[in-house]
Structure 1
Amino acid sequence: MDIEAVRSFVRAAELGQLQHAADELGVTQQAVSKRITNLERKLDVKLFTRTARGVELTLDGQAFLPHARNIVTGVDRAITAIRPGSRALRIDVLGLRSAQAVVLHDYWRSHPGTDLDVVTLKADDPRAAVAAVQAGDVDASFRTITDPAALPRDVRMIPAFDSPLELLVGPRHPLASARTLTPSRLRRHRIWVPGIAPRSEWAEFYDQLTTAFDLRVDAAGPNFGNEVLQDVLADSADVATLVGARDRYIWPTSHDLRRIPIVNPMLAYPLSLIVPKTNPHPGLRAIINHLGSLPPLPGDAWLPSWATKRKP
């Protein structure tokens, strides 16, 4: 069904004259008349009776009008829902408990009028997130292409913030009583990070991390989620994992897990924001400015090689 024909019918019915409907819709009276005639032919009924004063609804027209209004309203809402600038700012994060989501929530709390839609793309390959930005499925994505030369020309990647890492252990672990840890103290301890996806940005991060500090990162086994990982840590005397300092984790108090900052140097995961180069969502600029206002890492922090080549 031609939505513009339905829209023309609704406005003509409400205004009582084809010319008034045409003026409001920005078309000629002949165009409105033709649209309505085609709609009547499609429905096989007469919707209007033409009079000297304009048009009057027939009984069929009266029955059709409320449904036609719903059609026009539904289409308008659907268009608004996907049009940048009129719909919510849609940003992809790795998880709703991730540091990215926490930072966005902090921003939203200080700017409660912001129309923000936080989503999680089910994709480990950052190129899938880039494709989603290109297609307009999301307005921005907290992902990183570790080789900036591989970025498509119609998107850009900007530094977002760097997330310090902490060691998460159970109460029986030999490092559980430490208040801080240096990377050298992590050597020979099993750091379990299950489900590291090949070709993902974090796979390259852990490759560089283990090489730089001679660490033992074990990616064996499927990732059954944070709850299962926390259960293992609570019962283990030799398993630890790495988490972001801003990441949110919730566990039963009986687990007695410990989050221990890593220092001298601080280990950090660099987070980037992929955005379109042209016609970005109007709400993006404020988010980017907020990210730029976050406190920087100390000078001795360790970052992977691609982070040192990023340009703000």
Structure 2
Amino acid sequence: MVKRRTCMLAAAVLGALAASPAWADTYPSKPVRIVVPLAPGGSNDILARMLASDMTAEFKETVYVENRPGAAGNIATDFVAKSAGDGYTLAIAPNQTVSVNPALYPSLPFDVQKDLRGVTLLATLPQILVVSSKVPANTMEELIAYARKNPGKLTFASAGPGSPQHMSAAIFQNLTGTEMTHVPYKGSAPAIVDVLAGTVDVMFCPANSALPHVAGKRLRALGITGDERHAQLPDVPRVAEVVKDFRSDIWIGIVAPKSTPDDVVAKLNGAFSRSMKNPANQKKLAELGITTRTSTPAEFDSLMAEETQMWTRVIKQNQIKPE
């Protein structure tokens, strides 16, 4: 009798599950929020608004962007990490917030590996190694030779301790045996202004910010990060062509709370991938120096974990501390 009741109960449960639609079948049924950890206007914000527009059209539900800048992106990331895992709160995830910050800050209120899951990689943004007109170097080789002969004399600008610009310069110095003096700023804009003025000598500058100044011959481009040369600077070598094992890029993805169902993540991944593969979107982003590059959720999870390990080594080696 007990066995028969158990079988009947199991059959009822299975029947109920079969009758219940999967999460993704009804998702989304209300507005979706994409949280951006930085102020409006930058690459992360541009990507978020492009995705929101495309998702609204595809899903027939409002998808909106909410900017929550502050604490190097930790405020927004923490907010999303603690949100309900229902697919209605997502976060734009530059490598600064999900790979560098976990290595840089000793006690974050969230754990990227435990509290968040990747949805997809969205894009990469190379940096250009630029020097002011006062620096006596026209190539990377000349810059390295000058820096070796004059340790500490050259200065390099960044958007602050632990920023992509700072981390790229740290790796560059480690691999070339050079020593330059770090001059941190509160953001890329004031940093590049001082490089243009010749107050600071060197900077790994996001491509979208550097390209106009390179084109106007106000800055000299000596190298570019990333896996390929830049279409607008075909004669400028990749840093890795001169500095073996150099690897440092800005990439941007999107994450969700860890408990978000697999089928919802898969549905989001498909929608975001279609948006990033739209030729019109790719053209618009390319004009800003941004290259679209999507992934599976698992691939993005692996990228975040792998780069956190890499940045942990770099931060320890260079004794980098947050502000």
Q: TM-score w.r.t. structure 1 length?
A: 0.48
Q: TM-score w.r.t. structure 2 length?
A: 0.47
Q: From the CA coordinates, give the structure whose radius of gyration is larger.
A: 1
